[in-house]
Amino acid sequence: MEIILKKDVANLGHADDVVKVKNGYAVNYLIPQGYATLATASALKQHEETLRQRAHKEAKKVEEAEALAAKVSSVLVKVAVKVSESGKIYGSVTTAQLADALAAAGVEVDKKDITILADDAKELGIYEAEVKCYKAVKGVFKFELIAEEA
C-alpha cells in the first residue's frame, strides 16, 4: 500500500515522502496516528502541487536571504566601547551591540542570528562576525572597535 507521510517516521522516511508499506501497518497504525495519509491519485496530485508551491516559496526565501547576506557583507560597522589606557576594552562586545550598529547602518538583523567569529575581541581593531540569514545562507561582515569618547 502506498502512503504519503505527514511526519518523519523512524526507519521509514521523512515527511512528504511517498512510501510503500504493508496494509496492516498503514491502516492500523500510521493513518490513525496521523503519521500518513493514503496515496490515492487525487492525494498524489495534490501532494505534487503542494511540493511545487513549497519549492517556489523556498526559492524566494533563499533569494531574499542571499540579498541580505550580500548587503551585510558590504557593511563595515563601528562599535564604540570603553577602553583602558592600555587599549583593552572593558567587558566584551555583544551581539546586541552589533545588531544595533547594523540597524544604524540600515541593515535589520536579529541579535540571535549574529555570531562573533573572533574569540579574542578584547582590544581595539577590526574583527569579523557572521549573520545567519536563512538555513545555509550566511553573510560575514567586519566590525571595528573604536574608543568611546568620554
- pLDDT for the residue numbered 60: 96
SS3 state of residue 78: strand
What's the pTM? 0.74
- Asked which of 22, 37, 65 is the last residue of a domain, the reply is 65
* Cβ atoms within 10 Å, residue 57: 10
Rounded to an integer, the average pLDDT of 100-128 is 92
How is residue 35 written as a grid cell? Answer: 503519521
Q: Are residues 83 and 24 part of one domain?
A: no
pLDDT at 110 over 70: yes
Print the domain residue range for 28.
2-65
CA nearest 89: which of 77, 80, 78? 80
Q: Are residues 143 and 73 part of one domain?
A: yes
Q: Are residues 139 and 84 part of one domain?
A: yes
pLDDT at 123 over 70: yes
CA dihedral 53, 59, 60, 65 (to 10 degrees): 150
pLDDT at 79 over 80: yes
Q: Are residues 73 and 53 part of one domain?
A: no
- pLDDT for the residue numbered 85: 86
- pLDDT for the residue numbered 150: 62
pLDDT at 35 over 70: yes
Distance separating alpha carbons of residues 46 and 53, to the nearest angstrom: 11
- Asked which of 23, 38, 65 is the last residue of a domain, the reply is 65
Q: Are residues 82 and 57 part of one domain?
A: no
Q: Are residues 81 and 49 part of one domain?
A: no
Identify the CATH number of the domain in which residue 143 sits.
3.10.430.100
